[in-house]
């Protein structure tokens, strides 16, 4: 309905699910849903709209990528447990040498994006404000943003690597009880 109402020209893609696999969904079900959405929105239309999915970087597989036009990997350096001064490089390294990179082996060559990369501004409890070598805080977020944006842009421009998205513009208080304020 949205495509019929507003047109297709402003739509870069339709993402089916976010962290469906991370939350216990099956790859076969997700692939069926991607195919269904693709058939629904691209059946007999002049402008093809790419259809993909987003999930935790660790959940990306070649099989999943084979059924999508693009794959968006959620790669949060906080959960890698490293100090913020290493975070920007870790996002690139993890994406290109671990599970997300298997998307590039799919025969259809889907685009690979880093869909979520960010740093928590704080936690609900002091004990949750650190995770291994990572420390939550506004200063740490600023460090991440200052290093990540430039490095990500350089990786895309110089090396033709995947573009990235920063997650997110505003805190989501509904996640606090579930994740202790660091999600």
Residues noted as catalytic: 19, 116
Coil/strand/helix, residue 169: coil
Helix 87-97 and helix 138-159, axial crossing angle in degrees, nearest 10: 50
Q: Which spans in the chain are helix H?
A: 2-6, 27-42, 62-66, 87-97, 138-159, 176-179
Coil/strand/helix, residue 129: coil
Left if phi > 0, otherwise alpha if psi is -120 to 50, otherwise beta: which for 108?
Answer: alpha
Closest CA to 117 of 54, 50, 174: 54
Coil/strand/helix, residue 113: strand
Tokens of residue 49, six digits: 């709209």
């Amino acid at each position: 309905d949205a495509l019929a109402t507003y047109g297709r020209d402003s739509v870069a893609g339709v993402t089916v699910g976010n962290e469906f696999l991370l939350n216990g969904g099956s790859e076969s079900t997700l692939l069926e849903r991607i195919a269904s959405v693709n058939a629904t929105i691209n059946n007999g239309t002049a402008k093809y709209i790419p259809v993909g999915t987003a999930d935790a970087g660790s959940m990306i597989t070649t099989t999943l990528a084979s059924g999508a036009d693009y794959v968006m990997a959620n790669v949060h350096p906080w959960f890698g447990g490293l100090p913020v001064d290493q975070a920007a490089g870790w996002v690139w390294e993890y994406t290109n040498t671990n599970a997300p990179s298997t998307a590039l082996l799919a025969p259809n060559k889907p685009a690979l994006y880093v869909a979520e990369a960010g740093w928590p501004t704080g936690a609900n409890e002091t004990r949750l404000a650190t995770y291994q070598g990572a420390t939550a805080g506004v200063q740490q977020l600023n460090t991440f943003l200052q290093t990540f944006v430039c490095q990500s842009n350089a990786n895309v421009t110089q090396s033709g690597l995947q573009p990235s998205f920063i997650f997110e513009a505003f805190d989501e208080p509904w996640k606090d009880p579930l994740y202790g304020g660091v999600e």
